[in-house]
Amino acid sequence: MSNTSPLKHSDSLSYYQQQNNEVALFESAWNNQLPVLLKGPTGCGKTRFVQHMAEKLGRKLYTVACHEDLTASDLIGRHLIGDGETYWQDGPLTRAVREGAICYLDEVVEARKDSIVVMHPLTDDRRILPIDRTGELLHAPPEFMLVVSYNPGYQNLLKGMKPSTKQRFMSMSFDYPDKDMEAQIVAKEAGVDLELAKLLARLASHIRQLKDHDLEESASTRLLIYAATLIKSGIPVSEACRAAIAEPLSDDIEVVEALMQVMNAQLGDD
């Protein structure tokens, strides 16, 4: 069954630069009540994409930043005491189901296993959310959508997503855009000229070649936007790159200096 909410005009949406066919895939998943899993490195645009699609589909978005202390009650809800009485307060997942909204669980593998288990009835043809503490059984309306994300490159054996859970979702892989597209994104988001954005995209390309050697994470598009924003504010290019790119990537002084050598070599070529 297809949803009938109108899609918004692109001029009214937050900026998002499509890389492949992810917009059409997401729309199709929403229309067919399919849960979606987004995979990709930190800062490559997964969260921005979900925000963009929620606006495009005209749905309210509940975003949960998952962490190791996130419990099932944090998602579903709990009884609270106020004004001398006990009352129930819905969690973000429950509110999203009730309202036909999109619930986005960012870095879902960071959450406790009991938090992940509560999603399972919403990810098959039942599309239900049992609330044991109130005795309710919520049936998700057609407009409700569950979206989760994680970074496959930053996992260990204790924090992986089980294959049985992965297979409950339609999945899309994200990555950093190519240099030309990334430059356009940086220029648009930071409000800088395209030549500066191209320089930063080139710096990121060189740093990403080092990822498998000394870095757990690579330079994200988000960090490039931070650097461009600092430069636009009058901070010298090299200093901005250290503060927004090199320092966030490592606490090791030698690694930071090595990153600066790479970037300064590129800056010196201009």
The pLDDT tens digits for 47-87 are 999 999 999 999 999 999 999 899 999 999 999 998 889 99
Which of 35, 205, 183 has its CA nearest to residue 122?
35
The per-residue pLDDT for range 26-37, each reduced to its tens digit, is 999 999 999 999
Instruction: Kindly tell me if the per-residue pLDDT of 4 is higher than 50.
Output: no
CA atoms within 13 A on the CB side of 5: 18
Residues 233, 234, 236, 238, Cα dihedral to 10°: 10
Q: How far apart are CA 61 and CA 55, in angstroms?
A: 8
Q: Model's pTM, two decimal places?
A: 0.86
Percent of the chain with pLDDT over 70: 91
Q: Is pLDDT of 8 > 70?
A: no
Token reading at 242: 């250290």
CATH topology of domain 10-173: Rossmann fold (3.40.50)
Mean pLDDT over the full length of the chain: 89
51 close to 61: Cβ distance less than 8 angstroms = yes
Note the pLDDT of residue 89. Answer: 94
Q: What single string gives the DSSP state of each residue in 192-205?
A: --HHHHHHHHHHHH
Is the pLDDT assigned to residue 162 strictly greater than 50? Answer: yes
The pLDDT-based confidence of 161 (bands split at 50, 70, 90) is confident
pLDDT of residue 215: 72
Q: Which of 30-39, 100-109, 195-204, 261-270 has the lowest mean pLDDT?
A: 261-270
